[in-house]
């Protein structure tokens, strides 16, 4: 299986990349982003882009893949709706539309979030925009598309969030992680990476996976 990962320098993307490189079922990984990863592996290729809205020149390098793990995202903290929508909706759909045309047999996995509004409406800005993004992705002609809605994600193996607010939250939540785990509310970066691979290979009965669905695939 050949996999494209968007956002491999982020916390979730790092976890996905680590598991893909370790899994013998994954033949090749293409990491798409702006910054070099600093990772060396025979399976890994990197594609660095200046714009996440135009893929015309990159099309030859994006063809021939079986799955895409779209982990690129940003916190809504401090952002207005227009700026948040540009990154969350516009960037995601530009990539997905190009990939659906180039790889019609592809499975597309989008890392959304717990609390996303499926109808794409509601007063919470980020939940509304995420919901609109999910709906637009599910309308594209992929072989399959899955919207992953993890709750609390525990970083492992030295992985850290690049977002300061999240790093503070993870530090404050540390003492409560055992309790959250007992209640089935935690997925680790390692588990999420393995779940993505399993979804790409085996699929799932419905396209939106809440925390309880994700934990069934661990």
Please determine, for residue 66, whether its predicted confidence score (pLDDT) is greater than 80: yes
Q: What is the pLDDT of residue 96?
A: 98
Q: What is the pLDDT of residue 198?
A: 98
The H-or-E segment that residue 59 falls in is helix 59-62
Q: What is the CATH number of the domain that holds 188?
A: 3.40.50.720
Q: Which of 120, 183, 188 is nearest to 154 (CA)?
A: 188
Q: What is the pLDDT of residue 166?
A: 63
CA 97 to chain centroid: 16
Residues 139-154: tens digit of each pLDDT: 999 999 999 999 888 8
Ranking 38-42, 78-82, 142-146, 151-155 by mean pLDDT, the lowest is 151-155
Average pLDDT over residues 64-81: 94
Count up the domains in the chain and report the number.
1
Please determine, for residue 80, whether its predicted confidence score (pLDDT) is greater than 90: yes
Range of the domain at 191: 2-216
Q: Which of 158, 148, 159 is nearest to 197 (CA)?
A: 148
Contact 143, 1 (CB under 8 A): no
Q: What is the pLDDT of residue 39?
A: 93
Secondary structure of residue 107 in the 3-state scheme: strand
Please determine, for residue 138, whether its predicted confidence score (pLDDT) is greater than 90: yes
102 vs 100: CA distance, rounded Å: 6
E-strand ranges in the chain read: 2-6, 28-33, 44-48, 67-70, 107-111, 144-148, 152-154, 186-188, 208-209
CA 135 to chain centroid: 16
| Burial bucket for residue 191 (CB in 10 Å: 0-12, 13-18, 19+) | buried
Please give the C-alpha separations between residue 21 and each of 24, 52, 56, 148, 172, in angstroms, as whole numbers.
8, 24, 28, 21, 31
Q: How confident is the model at residue 77 (pLDDT cuts 50, 70, 90)?
A: confident
138 vs 147: CA distance, rounded Å: 9
Average pLDDT over residues 181-189: 77
Please determine, for residue 28, whether its predicted confidence score (pLDDT) is greater than 90: yes
Predicted model pTM: 0.92
Q: What is the mean pLDDT of the chain?
A: 92
Q: How confident is the model at residue 56 (pLDDT cuts 50, 70, 90)?
A: very high
């Amino acid at each position: 299986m050949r996999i494209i990962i968007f956002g491999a320098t982020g916390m979730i993307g790092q976890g996905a990349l680590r598991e893909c490189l370790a899994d013998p079922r994954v033949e090749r990984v293409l990491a798409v982003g702006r910054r070099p990863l600093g990772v060396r592996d025979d399976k890994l290729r990197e594609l660095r882009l200046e714009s996440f809205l135009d893929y015309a020149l990159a099309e030859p390098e994006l063809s021939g893949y079986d799955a895409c793990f779209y982990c690129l995202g940003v916190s809504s903290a401090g952002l207005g709706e227009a700026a948040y929508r540009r990154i969350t909706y516009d960037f995601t759909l530009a990539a997905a539309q190009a990939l659906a045309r180039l790889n019609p047999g592809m499975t597309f996995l989008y890392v959304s979030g717990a609390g996303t509004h499926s109808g794409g409406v509601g007063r919470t800005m980020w939940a509304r925009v995420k919901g609109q993004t999910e709906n637009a992705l599910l309308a594209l002609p992929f072989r399959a598309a899955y919207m992953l809605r993890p709750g609390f994600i525990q970083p492992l193996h030295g992985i850290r969030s690049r977002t300061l607010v999240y790093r503070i939250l993870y530090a404050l939540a540390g003492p409560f992680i055992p309790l959250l785990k007992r209640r089935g509310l935690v997925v680790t970066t390692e588990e999420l990476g393995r779940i993505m691979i399993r979804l790409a290979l085996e699929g799932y009965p419905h396209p939106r996976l809440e925390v309880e669905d994700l934990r069934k695939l661990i």
